[in-house]
């Protein structure tokens, strides 16, 4: 009986991310490529010139977004704008050398590459 319960639980767990999480990643990728990520934090900063020379910096930006993004019990994002803002904070700091006004410094866990 217990093995049947575990089998039912295992079969209800998806091995794919939710449509909501996929959409959040897609939107973030679109904002980054259009130069509008973190608006208005990065307004007037052409971060493409900086990350074009060092693609690993863009990799870090996406890692921050993914590390900060929180999902509810259904796998849907609950803090997409916060995740975008933290990634934009990192881009701002990378491009200007300064911390975004009004934003706390990035935490080490936000920047971990898995």
Is 113 in a helix, a strand, or coil?
coil
Sign of CA dihedral 33, 34, 40, 42: positive
pLDDT at 12 over 80: no
Cα dihedral 96, 35, 37, 21 in deg (nearest 10):
-140
Confidence category of residue 72, pLDDT binned at 50, 70, 90: very high
Per-residue confidence (pLDDT) for residue 31, from 0 to 100 = 94
Q: How long is the chain?
A: 114
Looking at 37-41, 60-64, 70-74, which range is the least confident one? 37-41
- Tell me the β-bridge partners of 71: 77
Confidence category of residue 45, pLDDT binned at 50, 70, 90: very high
Confidence category of residue 97, pLDDT binned at 50, 70, 90: very high
Is cis: bond before 40, omega within 30 of 0?
Answer: yes
Is 107 in a helix, a strand, or coil?
coil
pLDDT at 6 over 60: no
């Amino acid at each position: 009986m217990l093995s049947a319960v575990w089998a039912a639980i295992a079969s209800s767990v998806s091995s794919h991310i939710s449509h909501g999480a996929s959409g959040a990643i897609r939107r973030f990728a679109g904002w980054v490529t259009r130069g509008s990520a973190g608006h208005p934090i990065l307004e007037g900063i052409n971060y493409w010139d900086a990350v074009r020379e060092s693609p690993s910096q863009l990799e870090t930006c996406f890692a921050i977004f993914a590390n900060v993004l929180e999902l509810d019990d259904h796998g849907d994002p609950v803090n997409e704008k916060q995740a975008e803002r933290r990634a934009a904070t990192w881009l701002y700091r990378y491009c200007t050398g300064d911390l975004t006004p009004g934003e706390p410094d990035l935490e080490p866990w936000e920047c971990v590459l898995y």
